[in-house]
């Protein structure tokens, strides 16, 4: 679908390279309470060279369906940016685009603006949606599994007399006896059934969320099955890494265009 606004591009200075050089020049300046707001003037001035990016921000994040002729950034801080734009009708308006999550430091500006640019262009049909064809198991998933197993052993061991996969009751009781002693001494923890119910409910919700992400960003039955299976076992680390990979793909696409 053809875009409904005029695109103005500055081919003399690539967005990512020039912005990075300017960020480095300002690193030595003393920061105020908001590390981004203290550099708002510079960033607003720089973004005047990229009206196409600002128009994309306005139309996508501001959900503006009318024809946008021009747009400019009037301010930016760690919580979001304020954009001024002019419609084809001659009317001028202002919108506030929040950052989610918030920017924690000034160095976060470049990757966030690049990522938002790619997301906006993708949503407006100017850029293809990134597609992942492989599964990646993040190291955090294994660490999360180890923490969960440790918790279950110390705070939610199965009741005495429980057997599992034909393991003798005496063996199970001997293995979990230190855990029962620890729980008796501390008084902390939930019953094994309650802990399993809570964890299972959380992982079920995270599996559904991962499936929704796969519908948009993962191509291939095997990769999709791996992500859904991984989310059901490891939970949050799987979908967090999936979103991180999508963001990396978006930024990579923007850099190729630049």
What is the pLDDT, as a whole number, of residue 206? 96
Asked if residue 47 and residue 21 are part of one domain, the reply reads yes
Asked if residue 75 and residue 22 are part of one domain, the reply reads yes
What's 64's domain CATH number? 3.20.180.10
What is the pLDDT, as a whole number, of residue 7? 46
Asked if residue 66 and residue 122 are part of one domain, the reply reads yes
Residue 223 within any structural domain of the chain: yes
Whole-Å CA distances, 191 to 90, 154, 160, 172, 183? 66, 11, 12, 16, 11
pLDDT for 113-158, tens place per residue? 988 998 898 888 887 888 999 999 999 999 988 988 888 877 777 7
63 token code pair: 């959900």
Asked if residue 107 and residue 23 are part of one domain, the reply reads yes
Residue 114 within any structural domain of the chain: yes
Asked if residue 148 and residue 105 are part of one domain, the reply reads no
Query: What angle, rounded to 10 degrees, do the helices at 221-234 and 236-257 form?
Result: 140
Asked if residue 152 and residue 102 are part of one domain, the reply reads no
Structural domain count of the chain: 2
Asked if residue 146 and residue 111 are part of one domain, the reply reads no
Asked if residue 121 and residue 211 are part of one domain, the reply reads no
Residue 183 within any structural domain of the chain: no
Does 9 score more than 60 pLDDT? Answer: no
Q: Give the range of the structural domain holding residue 102, as residue numbers without chain letter.
A: 15-127
What is the pLDDT, as a whole number, of residue 173? 75
197 token code pair: 């119910």
Residue 4 within any structural domain of the chain: no
Asked if residue 143 and residue 123 are part of one domain, the reply reads no
Q: Give the pLDDT band of residue 13 (cuts 50, 70, 90).
A: low
Question: Percent of the chain having pLDDT more than 90?
Answer: 41
Select the more confidently predicted residue: 174 or 7: 174
């Amino acid at each position: 679908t053809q875009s409904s606004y005029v695109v103005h591009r500055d081919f003399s200075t690539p967005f990512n390279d020039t912005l990075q050089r300017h960020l480095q020049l300002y690193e030595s300046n003393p920061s105020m309470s908001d590390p981004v707001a203290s550099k708002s003037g510079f960033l607003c001035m720089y973004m005047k060279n990229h009206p196409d990016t600002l128009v994309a921000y306005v139309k996508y994040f501001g959900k503006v369906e009318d024809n946008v002729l021009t747009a400019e950034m009037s301010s930016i801080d760690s919580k979001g940016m304020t954009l001024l734009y002019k419609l084809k009708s001659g009317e001028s308006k202002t919108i506030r685009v929040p950052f989610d999550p918030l920017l924690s430091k000034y160095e976060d500006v470049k990757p966030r603006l690049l990522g938002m640019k790619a997301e906006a262009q993708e949503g407006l049909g100017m850029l293809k949606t990134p597609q992942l064809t492989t599964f990646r198991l993040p190291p955090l998933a294994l660490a999360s599994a180890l923490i969960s197993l440790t918790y279950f052993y110390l705070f939610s061991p199965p009741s005495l007399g429980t057997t599992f996969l034909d393991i003798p009751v005496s063996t199970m009781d001997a293995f979990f006896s230190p855990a029962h002693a620890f729980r008796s001494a501390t008084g902390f923890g939930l019953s094994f059934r309650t802990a399993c119910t809570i964890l299972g409910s959380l992982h079920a919700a995270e599996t559904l969320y991962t499936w929704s992400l796969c519908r948009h960003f993962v191509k291939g039955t095997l990769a999709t099955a791996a992500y859904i299976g991984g989310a059901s076992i490891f939970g949050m680390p799987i979908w967090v890494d999936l979103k991180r990979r999508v963001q990396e793909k978006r930024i990579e696409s923007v850099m190729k265009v630049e």
